[in-house]
Amino acid sequence: MDKKIGCLKVITGPMFAGKTEELLRHIHRLQRAKKKYLVFKPKIDNRHATSEVISHQNNKTDALIIGSVQEIEKYLNNDIETIFIDEIQFFSSEIASFLCNLTQQGYQIIAAGLDKNFRGEPFNETIKSFLALADCVEKLTAICQVCQNEASFSQRIINGQPARYHDPLVLVGGQENYEARCRSCYVI
């Protein structure tokens, strides 16, 4: 019997780059192939009052809502081949080593999340670990909402103005709070 070979893939980029859409594309491919998988999303992502992963284009799939990395283990069984996780940046940094251990057991892990926070810095230690440990990183860009060039930053907007550097790091939201911006149009 062949040993399953696991891998860790990270889909990253700014808000509105299509990270969740790309995650859903991978899920739909497995659905067509009739493969077994699990989809998780963090409890903190309360933009939609539902147990679904939903893209900005309103495409969606069912998901298990979890508050901690330990909850993943209770859903695993021998039939599962791939684990999908959306909004990976909202989990504690221990999730990176936990998922790397699962790749050693043969699981395919595909995670999507922001690479940078609204301050233009790595989002947190979780995303730093994932980017370092990943077998494959797919870095997406969006379209700058100011000049329409390639955008790699998430500009937080509060009352029509760019957020201040010392504003709280986490503000879960969508188009009401964020814009994609290129390096030239990004303001902090």
**Annotated catalytic, 150?**
no
Which of the following is catalytic: 21, 22, 52, 87?
87
The pLDDT of residue 140 is 97
The pLDDT of residue 47 is 61
Report yes or no on 123 lying in a domain. Answer: yes
Report yes or no on 118 lying in a domain. Answer: yes
- φ and ψ at residue 21, rounded to 5 degrees: -60, -40
Report yes or no on 157 lying in a domain. Answer: no
Domain count, the chain: 1
The pLDDT of residue 3 is 67
Q: What is the CATH number of the domain that holds 89?
A: 3.40.50.300
Report yes or no on 148 lying in a domain. Answer: no
Q: In Å, how far are 62, 145, 164 from 114, measured between CA atoms?
A: 21, 18, 19
Domain boundaries, position 64 = 7-140
* 106 burial via Cβ count (<10 Å: 0-12, 13-18, 19+): middle
Neighbours of 95 (CB within 10 A): 23
Report yes or no on 75 lying in a domain. Answer: yes
Report yes or no on 59 lying in a domain. Answer: yes
Give the separation between CA 52 and CA 168, rounded to whole angstroms.
Answer: 26
The pLDDT of residue 142 is 97
Task: Tell me the one-letter amino acid at 20.
Answer: T
Ordered per-residue pLDDT tens for the chain, 188 residues: 456 789 999 999 999 999 999 999 999 999 999 999 999 998 876 665 678 777 777 777 888 889 888 889 899 988 899 999 999 998 888 888 899 999 999 999 999 999 999 999 998 888 888 889 899 999 999 999 999 999 999 999 988 889 888 887 777 666 778 899 999 999 98
The pLDDT of residue 11 is 97
Report yes or no on 179 lying in a domain. Answer: no
Neighbours of 132 (CB within 10 A): 10
Length of the chain: 188
Give the separation between CA 184 and CA 117, rounded to whole angstroms.
Answer: 17
Query: DSSP readout, 130-186?
Result: HHHH-SEEEE--EE-TTT-SEE-EEEEEETTEEPPTTS-S----STTTEEEE-TTT-
The pLDDT of residue 91 is 87
CB 20 within 8 A of CB 112: yes
Report yes or no on 147 lying in a domain. Answer: no
Give the separation between CA 108 and CA 128, rounded to whole angstroms.
Answer: 20
The pLDDT of residue 179 is 94
